Structures are given as structure tokens and as C-alpha cells.
A and B are shown apart, each in its own frame.
Chain A
Amino acid sequence: SYVLTQPPSVSVAPEKTARMTCEGNNIGTKYVHWYQQKPGQAPVVVIYYNNDRPSGIPERFSASNSGNTATLTISGVEAGDEADYFCQVWSSADAAWVFGGGTKLTVL
């Protein structure tokens, strides 16, 4: 079955840039979606179709996807960005949605 691997944690100082990776075999050939989940809340999509942003999501959020790695980038990190971030793809081989294990972003 298809596996997505995310680092458990990333720490960044305010106003700096946070980069969170999501690794999967040939993930660059798939659409990747990214979700933000704050404590006690349901997830919210922040990036879809590799690098599209829903309305209401700041331009500070962007993403890329190539080869075996997709990356979510948050520039000018704010305290309010502290959350868990999950990547997601559709695995046609498994006929299933797959989530990465999630990365906890800590703003120092």
C-alpha cells in the first residue's frame, strides 16, 4: 500500500519560513492536498491540487510537488500557524485516500 512519510515535528521562529515535507514514491505524479489541524478542531484544507489555496488561506501558504517529495511552505510564520499539518494523496493502486502521519509545527 502507498505510504506518505512526514517528519513528526518542525520548529521555526516567528517571521521565519517553515518547510514541511511529505515523501512518497513518485508523489510528483499525484495531486497532493494539505490540511491544518489545530488542537480540538477539525482539519482545514490549506492547499489543494499541489498548490492551490482555498479562499481565506493567506498567500503565506504555498506548496510544491516533484519527484518523491511534496513540500508545504509557510512564509512569515505567525503564532497562529502552530498546528499539525497533514498531507494527503489518492492512491489509484489501492483505490484509497492516504494521509501522511502529520507534522507538528511549533512556533518558537
Chain B
Amino acid sequence: EVRLVASGGGLVQPGGSLRLSCVVSGVTFIDYAMSWVRQTPGKGLEWVSGISGTGGITYYAESVKGRCTITRDDSTNTLRMQLSSLRAGDTAIYYCVRLSGMDLPMANFENWGQGILVAVSS
């Protein structure tokens, strides 16, 4: 069974930063691209960032470009995302996602974690 367990959410002050982590089990982690997707409660899905299976290629949504860094540690099967200069619009449930292949453009979002809430507020 594939499991994605995210951590690191919570209440963050505007202008602050957060680091989300996601530990993946049940699959050969290095074989798959990974991504973060967020969802404002009651609203739609917004893709945030992605990283290839090799870790050599990263992609970011325009809304977070320049303040977001996605990384992976294949030795611990861990995906991470650092997001800085936080604002109210970053408040959302963040999902860790395993893609169906090694390359982002060629894969679908096959397994989703449970979601973790990030609230940006003073």
C-alpha cells in the first residue's frame, strides 16, 4: 500500500516561511516524480510545485515562483517544500502527491496524501 504522510503545517504569520515534509512508503521513491497541490477550503485545486524522479528538474506555479523550493531526499523517501514570504492567499490544505512516472509532464497524479492545513494569519 502506498502511503504519503505529510507534516509541517499549522499557523504561520504573514511574511513568515514554512517547510512541509512528506514521507513516502510502499513504492520505490526514486522512480517517481512528486508534486505539491493545494486547495483553499471549499474551493478548487491549485498545483504548486513539482520535482522529477531524478530530482534534476523542478517546476513551480507562477503564484509561488521565487519564494518556493521543492526538494527530495531519496535516502529517506522524503519530499519537502519550503515556501517563504507567506501571505493570506497561501492559506490552504497542501497535498503531497506521487506521480505515475518519473517525468512530470508525462504522468498523472496517482497517489495523494491526507492533506495538511497551512493557515497564514497574524
Interface positions of B from 96 to 119, Cβ below 8 Å from A: 100, 104-105, 108-110, 112-115
CA gap between A33 and B62 in the complex, in Å: 21
Digit string of B47-82 for contact with A (CB within 8 Å is 1, else 0)? 100100000000111100000000000000000000
Which of A45, A49, A96, A102 touches B59 (beta carbons < 8 Å)? A96
Residues on A with C-beta less than 8 A from B110 are: 45, 54
* Bound complex: CA A19 to CA B46 (Å): 23
Q: What's the least CB distance linking A39 to chain B, in Å? A: 10
Q: Chain A contact residues (Cβ within 8 angstroms of B): what range?
A: 20 to 34
B23 to chain A, nearest CB (A): 16
Residue pair A43, B108 in contact (C-beta under 8 Å): no
Q: Does B35 contact A (CB under 8 A)?
A: yes
CB of B95 closer than 8 Å to a CB of A = yes
Which A residues are CB-close (under 8 A) to B100? 48
A95 at interface by CB-CB < 8 Å: yes
CA distance A92 to B47 in the complex (A): 14
Question: Given A1-B62, A42-B95, is A99 in contact with B112 using a C-beta cutoff of 8 Å?
Answer: no
A48 vs B109: C-alpha distance when bound (angstroms): 9
Give A68 Cβ to nearest chain B Cβ, in Å. 20
A43 to chain B, nearest CB (A): 6
Flag if B44 contacts A97 (CB, 8 Å).
no
CB-defined contacts of A97 to chain B, threshold 8 Å: 35, 47, 50, 59, 104
- In the docked arrangement, what's the CA distance between A97 and B47, Å? 6
The 3 closest A-B pairs by CB, nearest first: A42-B112, A97-B47, A48-B108
Which residue numbers of A lie inside 8 Å of B, CB to CB?
A: 1, 33, 35, 37, 42-45, 48-49, 54, 86, 88, 90, 92, 94-102
15 new A-B contacts, CB < 8 A, other than A1-B62, A101-B44, are A35-B45, A42-B95, A42-B112, A42-B113, A43-B45, A43-B109, A88-B45, A88-B108, A94-B62, A95-B59, A96-B47, A96-B59, A97-B104, A98-B47, A99-B45
